A and B are shown apart, each in its own frame.
Chain A
């Protein structure tokens, strides 16, 4: 992005009347073009918001962070450079560089970092915090030639690395990945001495643009994809298993098929992180099962669900997998070595991300895996990630056992014998990232489709009359983990629900009925109002309301307790309540 384009985006955004997205940019230098690039990048990522960037005092990072404690900014971006840790590590102040200074510089850097870490900890309790570590080169203050790393320099880098690791361990502070920044902004082309001395802005424009892009990504924290569907022959392994047999397919260095091994290893990693892995392959099921019987596969058979192996259309196989997963195509990636298959799938499922596996292009496969890491990357793993695939398998088992005349899919007997247990947690825990994640990625059982920023979420929970109910589920078929979130406010004589989502993995178990009953019981009210809005995808929630109200819901609909109880089917769950806040 060029500066003129960034300024143009900033100019246009100032005329918008959309909801504010406020970010504090904290840096010791003059923020100048970094501010413009960050504003523009955020604005492009958040077209429904009006971005506003506040900046702190020049050369006073600690003071700025102190002022931000307890604030309600949507995000805080700290951009550190070496002179912020000790002015002698820059070239604008001439405090001396001799060998006698090095120990003192190191000690000062350690003190500064400790202070910053404590402040960041505090700020991150009320705002999303992202941090960029020094990106500019250290000046030539060490006595070694520039081709040699001195002990003093390595000590400084070790201090910064330790600081970064401590910050990242909190989960509330997100660190910019230096390796990725290096790829987009070569280290040798970052510093502008002229600009640093003339205006106090040390970056070349291209570096400021790259840095701002990654900061915006960290602040917006895009949702990861949920599932990956892969082809088998010449993708998961080398060779056509139907032609050469299960023993002749390969994925190792010796048979020049390492790309497939790496791909298998990566898919196994994704599965362990909670990504759904499915297979769509034109093959004989028996020979594929034989191949998966090999004990040297790096992607275990049990990590794959479902396995769609037939001679039918790939697009139809993908449709069946999406149906079993109960996710939209735009949450899924499809990988195949055949461009025609990719085109067919893309034509029938335009939202799906189709990626080519080129088995003869080793570097291309490596790039593909890097790309997949971006698409599936998440800030933190939750307990639910480990349960996702297993619970889908359990759901499929339940559906398979369902009687055909039951509209909801599960028979009364199945529900009765499922030994279902629901845990309701009444706790306004801001650090519960799973609740916000669920709220922002659920489409079908979603009260209004509204997405909340981390700051909006914190503000809602900070309100004195607000409540948060999270719902976890398990039954004899396995645990689903935390699958429901209800949030709203306690009014004088009623409850107003502003957000209600439930994972599609939990459908047809009457969890929504039990949740609503808990709401009535917890607050002892006769009526609950809902901030309902129809969205292109929230028909399942509308169906629930229709079943209770005997008519389609309207915006701001209400449910009377007597009406609910009259319409509520029999519930079989054992209910556990963890804590009370009211």
Chain B
């Protein structure tokens, strides 16, 4: 249930940053599959996620969080360690 909530909130974050993606496409989104996923979109997405989940993402982490799935894993790991 907790995981489902995280997933749906993350989908909302992706939806505002990548409005061209449908809800079905978002879980498969990655830097390579989304044409508009440039550096500005990346910074915006991170900022929205930080604000929405109350977490801080460091610069090194950002370079690795290049898909929806990886971000979801990262947020779920963070929740487990709280």
- CB atoms of A33 and B44 under 8 A apart: yes
- CB atoms of A198 and B59 under 8 A apart: yes
* Docked CA distance A14–B19 (Å): 11
- CB atoms of B40 and A205 under 8 A apart: no
B65 adjacent to chain A (CB < 8 Å): no
* Docked CA distance A199–B62 (Å): 12
Which listed segment binds A: B10-18, B28-36, B70-78? Answer: B10-18
The residue on B at minimum CB distance from A197 is B59
| Number of chain A residues close to chain B: CB under 8 A | 17
B66 adjacent to chain A (CB < 8 Å): no
Q: B43's contact among A11, A14, A198, by CB below 8 Å, is which? A: A198
Which listed segment binds B: A2-10, A221-229, A441-449, A511-519? Answer: A2-10
- CB atoms of A7 and B48 under 8 A apart: yes
- CB atoms of B44 and A8 under 8 A apart: no
Contacts of B43 in A (CB 8 A): 32, 195, 198-199, 201
The residue on B at minimum CB distance from A194 is B59
Contacts of A198 in B (CB 8 A): 43, 59
B67 adjacent to chain A (CB < 8 Å): no
- CB atoms of B51 and A4 under 8 A apart: yes
The residue on A at minimum CB distance from B52 is A4
* Docked CA distance A2–B54 (Å): 12
In the assembled complex, the CB of B73 is this many whole angstroms from the nearest CB of chain A, namely 21
- CB atoms of B59 and A205 under 8 A apart: no
A7 with B51, Cβ < 8 A, contacts A32-B44, A198-B59, A201-B43 known: no
- CB atoms of B44 and A7 under 8 A apart: yes
The residue on A at minimum CB distance from B16 is A7
* Docked CA distance A33–B47 (Å): 9
* Docked CA distance A4–B45 (Å): 9
A3 with B59, Cβ < 8 A, contacts A8-B16, A32-B43, A198-B43 known: no
* Docked CA distance A11–B14 (Å): 12
A2 with B40, Cβ < 8 A, contacts A8-B16, A198-B59 known: no
* Docked CA distance A199–B43 (Å): 7
- CB atoms of B40 and A32 under 8 A apart: yes
The residue on A at minimum CB distance from B40 is A32
A23-40: CB near B (< 8 Å → 1, else 0) gives 000000010110010000
B-contacting residues, A252-291, CB 8 Å:
none
In the assembled complex, the CB of B33 is this many whole angstroms from the nearest CB of chain A, namely 20
Contacts of A30 in B (CB 8 A): 40
A181-205: CB near B (< 8 Å → 1, else 0) gives 0000000000000110011010001
In the assembled complex, the CB of B10 is this many whole angstroms from the nearest CB of chain A, namely 11
The residue on A at minimum CB distance from B49 is A4
In the assembled complex, the CB of B52 is this many whole angstroms from the nearest CB of chain A, namely 6
A11 with B44, Cβ < 8 A, contacts A4-B12, A4-B13, A205-B51 known: no
Q: A4's contact among B16, B40, B59, by CB below 8 Å, is which? A: B16
Contacts of B44 in A (CB 8 A): 3, 7, 32-33, 36
In the assembled complex, the CB of B44 is this many whole angstroms from the nearest CB of chain A, namely 7
* Docked CA distance A4–B12 (Å): 8
* Docked CA distance A192–B62 (Å): 17
* Docked CA distance A205–B47 (Å): 8
* Docked CA distance A32–B52 (Å): 17
* Docked CA distance A195–B12 (Å): 23
Contacts of A194 in B (CB 8 A): 59
A3 with B47, Cβ < 8 A, contacts A32-B40, A198-B59 known: yes
In the assembled complex, the CB of B5 is this many whole angstroms from the nearest CB of chain A, namely 15
The residue on B at minimum CB distance from A33 is B47
Residue from the set A3, A32, A194, A198 with the largest chain B CB neighbour count within 10 Å? A3
* Docked CA distance A424–B39 (Å): 58
Contacts of B47 in A (CB 8 A): 3, 33, 195, 205
Contacts of A33 in B (CB 8 A): 44, 47
Contacts of B48 in A (CB 8 A): 3-4, 7
* Docked CA distance A199–B42 (Å): 10
The residue on B at minimum CB distance from A5 is B16
Contacts of B16 in A (CB 8 A): 4, 7-8, 11
Contacts of B19 in A (CB 8 A): 11, 14
In the assembled complex, the CB of A212 is this many whole angstroms from the nearest CB of chain B, namely 14
A2 with B17, Cβ < 8 A, contacts A32-B40, A198-B59 known: no
The residue on A at minimum CB distance from B56 is A194
* Docked CA distance A171–B17 (Å): 39
Contacts of A205 in B (CB 8 A): 47, 51
In the assembled complex, the CB of A471 is this many whole angstroms from the nearest CB of chain B, namely 49
* Docked CA distance A193–B22 (Å): 35
In the assembled complex, the CB of A92 is this many whole angstroms from the nearest CB of chain B, namely 15
The residue on A at minimum CB distance from B19 is A11
The residue on A at minimum CB distance from B39 is A199
In the assembled complex, the CB of A564 is this many whole angstroms from the nearest CB of chain B, namely 55
- CB atoms of A3 and B40 under 8 A apart: no
A2 with B59, Cβ < 8 A, contacts A7-B16, A7-B17 known: no
Known: A7-B17, A36-B44, A205-B51. 8 other contacts (CB 8 A): A3-B44, A3-B47, A3-B51, A4-B13, A4-B51, A4-B52, A8-B16, A32-B44
Q: What are 13 A-B interface contacts by the 8 Å CB criterion?
A: A2-B52, A3-B44, A3-B47, A3-B48, A4-B13, A4-B48, A7-B48, A32-B44, A36-B44, A195-B43, A199-B39, A199-B43, A205-B47
Closest 5 A/B residue pairs (Cβ)? A7-B16, A11-B19, A199-B43, A4-B48, A8-B16
